[in-house]
Amino acid sequence: MQVTWYGHAAFGLTPENGPRIITDPYTPEGVGYDPILDPADLVIISSDDDSAHCRADLIGGNPEVVNALEVAQSGGKTTALGIDITAIEAAEWDHHPEHEVPGQNGMYRFTLDGIRIAHMGDVGNPLTDAQQDFFQDTDVLLALTGGYLTLELPDLMEMIHRTRPKLVIPMHFRTLTYRPRNTMWIESFLSHFKDEDVDFAFGATTELKKEDLPDRTRVLVMDYVRNAGTIGKSL
């Protein structure tokens, strides 16, 4: 499976078998990252009212769209293009500067090429036991990195230590492009891991195979796409 990080909470996942998925596409002008020019068969959004996480309308290819929040509120399970998707409800940060009332969103999971993938959506508060349990048996965790606008780092690390995903790919952290005040750089997150457990992709795209996943939790830090549409090329 090929994984591309566009920036913020948006990833492109291209399996050997199955539909091409894009998660949580953003409004480029809002977050500063390049427009996502790659098409998708399926787009999963964590809500329908947050322009940094819901812009399925900007994705080409006439994709089917699944709103994880609606899934979470309607039994927690759905199937789209042969992919079983499960979701659990979450809330934004209580003190979000753009919303008087914290927005609701969905954290979600699905499997591609036999790899169990979980996306943390836009959760902003300590995870309940049920929310932590939702991430059990995760192979690849697309993880918020804690701090301003999201859940705090100690709460995030509690879940990671409890559920032990095989591979953590960070998202939603401060970069040279995305620089909201008080948002933390990736170093704050990485300080909770041993140096030998952290890898760097040195590009916006990487290849994952189930048989190559580590036996214990490792972190893979990816770069974000510049000049979108270069999927498969090393940046």
Global pTM value:
0.92
Q: Which two tokens mark 19? A: 């539909």
Rounded Cα–Cα distance for residues 43 and 72 (Å): 16
At residue 67, the 3 state secondary structure works out as: strand
**Length in residues, the chain:** 235
Domain 2-221 CATH assignment equals 3.90.1150.10: no
Q: Which residues lie below 8 Å from residue 55, measured CB to CB, with a gap of 6+? A: 25, 26, 27
What is the rounded CA–CA span in Å between residue 135 and residue 17?
Answer: 24
Instruction: In whole angstroms, give the CA distance from residue 78 to residue 30.
Output: 30
Residue 228 DSSP SS3: coil
Task: Give the residue among 74, 73, 78, 77 at the shortest CA–CA distance from 104.
Answer: 73
Please say whether the beta carbons of 42 and 20 come within 8 A. yes
At 69-98, the pLDDT tens digits run: 999 999 999 999 999 999 999 998 655 555
Query: What is the per-residue burial (b if ≥16 Cβ within 10 Å, else e) of 68-96?
Result: bbebbeeebebebeebebbbbbbbbbeeb
State which amino acid sits at residue 158.
E
Q: Which amino acid is at 175?
A: T
**Ordered per-residue pLDDT tens for the chain, 235 residues:** 999 999 999 999 999 999 999 999 999 999 999 999 999 999 999 999 899 999 999 999 999 999 999 999 999 999 999 999 999 999 986 555 555 555 799 999 999 999 999 999 999 989 999 999 999 999 999 999 987 778 999 999 999 999 999 999 999 999 988 887 778 899 999 999 999 999 999 899 999 999 999 999 999 999 999 974 444 333 2
